[in-house]
Chains A and B, each alone.
Chain A
Amino acid sequence: MRAEYLLRRLASAVLVIVGVVTLTFFAVRLTPSDPARLYAGPRARPEQVEALRVRLGLDRSLPEQYVRYLANLLHGDFGDSFKTRRSVREDLGIFLPATLELVIAAYALALCIGIPAGIVAGAQATRAFDKATGVAAVLGASAPVFALALLAQQIFFNQLHWLPLNGRLSADVSITHPVTAITGFWLLDTALTGNWVAWRDVAAHLILPALVVAIYPLAIILRMTRNSMVDALRQPHIVVARAKGLPARLILLRHALRNAILPVLTVAGLSFAYAVTGSVFVEVLFRWPGVGAYMADAIVSKDFPPIMAVTLVSTVIFVAVTTAVDVVRAVLDPRV
């Protein structure tokens, strides 16, 4: 029964990804724009464009191109950028770690602030702290992230001069203490090589964008923890624990939190996948060299291979996370 459920879940994940690939391919191929012309550049002669069309396989029928695209994808080949002619896979290898570093830092912030604050708010429901965090969370969830980014830059760079405006590393540090890329996560790379001057600079550049990306998940996680705690504290076993005279802190953290935390982590996991693409505005505003900024550049020049690649990678991450969440739930909860 359970093995059957897991198999069905995995099969449907594969089906969804194939559907996404198909939809993306045909949506892009049905545009009036001519990829060969874009790739060849504005000054190419017609025969050069023709030659490119043949080389890129664009002279074949649409189904044939589709099968070739699928085959290439299976080998991890996303094609070349029309604009820079670089391999999209190599580009992703550089830009994806930057985005993941940003989003992971943001989620670390959101979880470390959101869960404790949510617990406190839930434990003292309807008191002042609960009301204040409630208002803050609604505000945080309704604020346009690019406006928050501008506001953060205005305050912490322009007024207070505490943090750098944008980028991932200061120009002078990149010359005196260059980062040796190992994992692509620069905070990790600089620590591994003991390059502490660059580490401090990388951390200073990371704080503001991570804070801005963190606001939305922080708001969601805080409210989710709070509501979940309020529900958990109403359960009969909590009443029993109280009646036994157990200390309040123990009841809160051992008995209530254990039941309350699973839905919070589910929501956090799902919204993480959204954040990978949601960070596009933050990346553009902070000149953060991640996949979001990469895609925004590609959109301006109608450079479709990077756009398709980022779309696919993000949806695959999303489907993988949702499937993993379902599988974990199925393992933990025998009722599924």
Chain B
Amino acid sequence: MGALVLLGAVVMAALFAPLLTPYAAEGAGLPNMAHKLLPPSLEHPFGADEMGRDLLARVLYGARTSLLLAALVVGSSVAMGVLVGLAAGAAGGWLDETAMRVTDIFLAFPPLLLAILLVAVLGGGFSSAVLALAIAWWPFYAVLVRGQVVSVRRLPFIEAAQATGVSPLRIAWRHLLPNALGPLLVQATVDIGAVILVASGLSFIGLGPQPPTADWGLMIASGRQFVLSGSWWVAGFPGLAILVTALAFAVVGDALRAATHGG
């Protein structure tokens, strides 16, 4: 329950960031050198960063970047995974065999590594990070959907539908896919947290969104040199934001899993 509230708070922060802070311009990237590295105070609860920007505003704007990126990655990987998994599971035969061999190849890469390789090839930035992470992530969904489809393909209600002449496409879409939706939703929720973690790592090494975009990984990377000289807040609050967000999605995902499995 607490996690659900946290998750709601993060989503709200992302949606309404400009309304939640009086420093919207700084949140979007406008420097204010007079406030350079101000410690946390009532006026600036999270302090100010190395360019004098209100850190709370930056963290709120960072929620937009993180959530948008993760939603795009998970959304497109789910779409791709459903397409491949459904086709493979429903058709069977050589199509299934080929699709699963290709999926195996993608699964052999640790996802972080494949994403790093692809971003290195595509060049850094928001859209190539999304593309790279989606390419690294879709095979998990393909395997998940195929497994679910195969487990119900031989059940009587599918055979009944086939016998009454329902088209294979309609069977796949109306009868096979709905059975995979529950596990798919659980996995997608957990994965949004995981994608946020991996993506923040990518931007930490400079392969994600570029300045002046507010991005948590980027904020930690540019703030890290000031941490050792005492300005812990510059990297501390973005780090906390990543932790809280990843945690909220993981816990809510687990709760969903427990609810759908009746345990």
Residues of A within 8 A of B (CB): 12, 15-17, 19-20, 23-24, 27-28, 30-31, 138-139, 141-147, 150-151, 153-154, 157-158, 165, 273-274, 276-278, 280-281, 284-285, 295-296, 299-300, 302, 304, 307-308, 310-311, 314-315, 318-319
Contacts and interface: CB of A to CB of B under 8 A. Distances in A.
B239 A16 contact: no
Contacts of A281: 201, 204-205
Contact of B204 (A12, A27, A146, A154): A146
B5 interface: no
Given A281-B201, A296-B205, A319 B110 contact: no
Given A31-B121, A147-B235, A284-B205, A17 B108 contact: yes
B140 to A, nearest CB: 13
B224 A318 contact: no
A150 B235 contact: yes
A305 B232 CA distance: 38
A147 B220 contact: yes
Contact of B197 (A16, A144, A284, A307): A144
A129 to B, nearest CB: 20
Given A144-B197, A150-B224, A277-B112, A16 B243 contact: no
A16 B116 contact: no
Interface stretch (B152-160, B181-189, B244-252): B244-252
Interface string B111-128: 011101110111000000
B209 to A, nearest CB: 15
Interface residues of B, number: 40
Interface centre among B197, B205, B220, B228 (most CB of A within 10 A): B205
Contacts of A299: 116, 120, 205, 207
**Residue among A12, A146, A285 with the highest chain B CB neighbour number at 10 A:** A146
A318 B197 CA distance: 21
Contacts of B200: 144, 146
Given A139-B243, A143-B242, 8 more contacts: A19-B108, A27-B121, A138-B251, A150-B227, A153-B227, A157-B228, A274-B112, A307-B117
B170 interface: no
A277 B193 CA distance: 19
A20 B108 contact: yes
B113 A277 contact: yes
B243 A318 contact: no
B108 A315 contact: yes
A141 B247 CA distance: 8
B253 to A, nearest CB: 11
Interface string B91-134: 00000000001101110111011101110111000000000000
Nearest to B254: A138
B39 interface: no
B29 interface: no
Interface in B200-217: 200-201, 204-207, 217
Given A281-B201, A281-B205, A300-B206, A144 B239 contact: yes
A89 to B, nearest CB: 19
A18 to B, nearest CB: 9
Contacts of A28: 117, 121
A144 B110 contact: no
Given A139-B247, A284-B205, A278 B112 contact: yes
Contacts of A273: 110
Contact of A143 (B113, B207, B243): B243
